[in-house]
């Protein structure tokens, strides 16, 4: 199967999610110097590819993975007044999988396995591991995609420095 066919198939599986007005709000949220929308599409696509290679229900994985970070309000700059354990629970890294699950259930039909992919994707930061293989795929792919995004963002200053160095020489 050529790459174009994979993209087309992925689009038919998650097209209704990607074009949904609520999901489109992810375009306004920054994530590792990238948009959260792009991040979600990347995690959805690569999870779909991995699930396909493993002979799993790739349609289910594609949809669950695409919805894994479905929160529409930016957390950066939000003030928290709570303290102790409550404060930790409210921290974005811990709270956003639950928010994503609430939104996913509100706007789309998701099953128990997809709920697991969404709510457990921050493992091991959130201590309960995924119960199903799809959840393990999403948590691994999310970390790979996020690392790649961070590396590219971090490379930009190096690129700028290089051009300054070239100008100076």
- Footprint on this chain of Fe ion (rule: CB under 5 A): 69, 142
CB of 100 to Fe ion, least distance (A): 7
The residues, ordered by sequence, that sit 6+ positions from 16 with a Cβ below 8 Å of its Cβ are 108
Question: Measured from the CB atom, is 106 or 162 closer to Fe ion?
Answer: 106
Contact residues for 105 (Cβ-Cβ < 8 A; gap 6+): 115
CA–CA distance, 74 with 71 (Å, rounded to integer): 8
In the bound state with Fe ion, the residue whose beta carbon lies nearer, of 116 and 142, is 142
* Minimum separation from the CB atom of position 139 to Fe ion (A): 9
Q: Is 138 exposed, middle or buried (0-12, 13-18, 19+ CB in 10 A)?
A: buried
Nearest by Cα to 52 from 7, 96, 89, 21:
7
Measured from the CB of residue 55, what is the shortest distance to Fe ion in angstroms?
Answer: 25
Cβ distance to Fe ion smaller for residue 41 or 56: 41
Question: Which residues, at least 6 apart from 148, have a Cβ–Cβ distance to it below 8 Å?
Answer: none
Closer of 95 and 107 to Fe ion (Cβ): 95
Q: How far is the CB of 20 from Fe ion (least distance, A)?
A: 18
């Amino acid at each position: 199967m050529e790459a174009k066919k994979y993209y087309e198939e992925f689009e038919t599986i998650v097209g209704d999610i990607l074009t949904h007005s609520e999901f489109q709000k992810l375009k306004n949220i920054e994530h590792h110097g990238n948009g959260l929308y792009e991040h979600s599409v990347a995690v959805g696509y690569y999870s779909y590819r991995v699930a396909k290679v493993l002979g799993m229900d790739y349609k289910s994985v594609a949809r669950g993975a695409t919805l894994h970070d479905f929160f529409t309000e930016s957390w950066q700059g939000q003030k928290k007044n709570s303290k102790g354990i409550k404060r930790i629970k409210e921290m974005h890294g811990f709270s956003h999988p639950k928010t994503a699950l609430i939104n996913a259930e509100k706007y789309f039909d998701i099953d128990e396995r997809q709920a697991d992919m969404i709510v457990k994707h921050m493992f091991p930061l959130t201590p309960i591991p995924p119960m199903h293989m799809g959840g393990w795929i999403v948590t691994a792919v999310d970390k790979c995609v996020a690392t790649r995004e961070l590396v590219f963002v971090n490379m930009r200053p190096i690129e700028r420095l290089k051009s300054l160095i070239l100008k100076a020489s």
